[in-house]
Amino acid sequence: MKNTKELTLAGMMIALMTVIAFVPQLGYIQITPVIGVTTMHIPVIIGAVLLGRKFGFILGTTFGILSFLVTLQRGATPFELFFLNPLISVLPRVLFGMAVYEVYAFVKKFIKDDKILFPTTALITTLIHSVLVLGAIGIIYGAQLNEWGIENIMVWIWGIMVSNAIFEAIFAAILVTVVAVPLKKLVK
């Protein structure tokens, strides 16, 4: 019975990710031509904390593939074009999916209450996601960014972290808690 529940929840998370990926302004919300935030990572967090590391890997991989496909479909801004490279669109998301459960398991050693554990995990892992993606962009496309006039890559990355990632982390903490706390009772 537990396998059926796990597979059902994983399938629901993948279906949700697919819908929010391809419906404009749901999974990837473009605020300005340069600034955009993602909500696509939230089902990965929920799935990984409720289902474990194997499903974190599966959901992270799904997130990466969907990110790549969305970019192929509508890559409109210069920043989005970075995501045509699977080392930017897929690899960081696979690593993120694997990291979510590990962070959750570590934090769980210190925090037992799910109403604190889930948002703490969401905050930390959302920031990890941003560091993985922005770090990959900085490493792979640092020279190109320099040609665009972005001379200090670290300042650029921190600027995005402050303008995007903190908002994403707070939003994820709230949404993960609201969804995962009651959902945990159904899965376990």
Residue 25 CA from chain centroid, whole number: 15
For the chain, what is the domain count?
1
CATH no. for residue 101? 1.10.1760.20
Give the residue numbers spanning the domain of 28. 2-187
pLDDT recorded at residue 143:
77
Q: What digits encode the pLDDT tens for the residues 38-55?
A: 899 999 999 999 999 999
Considering only residues 160 and 18, tell me which one the structure prediction assigns the higher pLDDT: 18
Structure-token pair, residue 103: 């962070």
- The pTM score is 0.91
Asked if residue 10 has pLDDT above 90, the reply is yes
pLDDT in tens, 65-115: 999 998 888 766 677 788 899 999 999 999 999 999 999 999 999 999 999
CA angle 126, 7, 84 (to 5 degrees): 45
